[in-house]
Homo-oligomer: A and B are copies of this chain.
Amino acid sequence: MKKRLIGFVLALLVVMIPIGAIATVSHMTDENKSAVHHEEHQEKSIGSLIEGFYKQTGIYAIFNPQEGAKNALGEEMSTFHQSFGRIIMIGIAFLLFYLAIAKGFEPLLLIPIGFGGLLANIPLANIIGDHGFIGELYKAGIANELFPLLIFMGVGAMTDFGPLLANPKTALLGAAAQFGIFGTLVGAVALSQMGVFDFTLQDAAAISIIGGADGPTSIFIASKLAPDLLGAIAVAAYSYMALVPVIQPPIMRALTTPEERRIKMKTTREVRKLEKILFPLTVLVLTILILPESSPLIGALTFGNFVRESGVVERLSKTMQNELINIVTIFLGLAVGSKLAAEKFLVPETLGILLLGLVAFAIGTAAGVIMGKIMNKFSKEPINPLIGAAGVSAVPMAARVANKEGMREDPTNVLLMHAMGPNVAGVIGSAVAAGVLLSIF
Contact = CB atoms under 8 A, between A and B. Distances in A.
B136 A144 contact: yes
A154 B149 CA distance: 25
A11 interface: yes
B316 A324 contact: no
Which of A111, A127, A292 gathers most chain B CB within 10 Å? A292
B322 A327 contact: no
A166 B8 CA distance: 34
A233 to B, nearest CB: 15
A73 interface: no
Nearest to A141: B136
Contact of A310 (B14, B97, B350): B97
B119 A295 contact: yes
A98 B231 CA distance: 43
Contact of A288 (B58, B94, B103, B322): B58
Given A145-B133, A200-B34, A290-B57, A27 B296 contact: no
Given A58-B290, A281-B94, A145 B122 contact: no
A289 to B, nearest CB: 5
How many chain copies does the complex carry? 3
Interface string A272-299: 0000010001001101111111011001
Nearest to A98: B11
Interface in A1-20: 1, 4-5, 7-8, 11-12, 14-16, 18-20
Interface residues of A, number: 125
Contact of A315 (B16, B91, B108, B201): B108
A265 interface: no
Given A15-B92, A133-B146, A316-B108, A41 B201 contact: yes
Contact of A198 (B5, B31, B322): B31
B326 A289 contact: no
A118 to B, nearest CB: 6
Which of A62, A137, A289 gathers most chain B CB within 10 Å? A289
Given A18-B346, A198-B34, A293-B124, A354 B146 contact: no
A126 to B, nearest CB: 8
A319 B323 contact: yes
A186 interface: no
A406 interface: no
Interface in A155-209: 192-193, 198, 200-201
B23 A348 contact: yes
A133 B201 contact: no
A107 interface: yes
A258 interface: no
B312 A124 contact: no
Interface of A is mostly: helix
B319 A19 contact: no
Contact of A289 (B53, B58, B330): B58
A329 interface: yes
Which of A24, A291, A313, A323 gathers most chain B CB within 10 Å? A313
Contacts of A58: 287-292
B319 A326 contact: yes
Which of A22, A38, A322, A326 gathers most chain B CB within 10 Å? A326
Interface stretch (A300-308, A378-386, A390-398, A421-429): A300-308
A323 to B, nearest CB: 4
Contacts of A193: 38
A69 interface: no
B310 A316 contact: no
Which of A119, A122, A277 gathers most chain B CB within 10 Å? A122
B292 A111 contact: no
A22 to B, nearest CB: 7
6 contacts: A11-B99, A23-B346, A59-B290, A111-B312, A111-B316, A137-B146
3 closest A-B pairs (Cβ-Cβ)? A319-B326, A107-B312, A37-B200
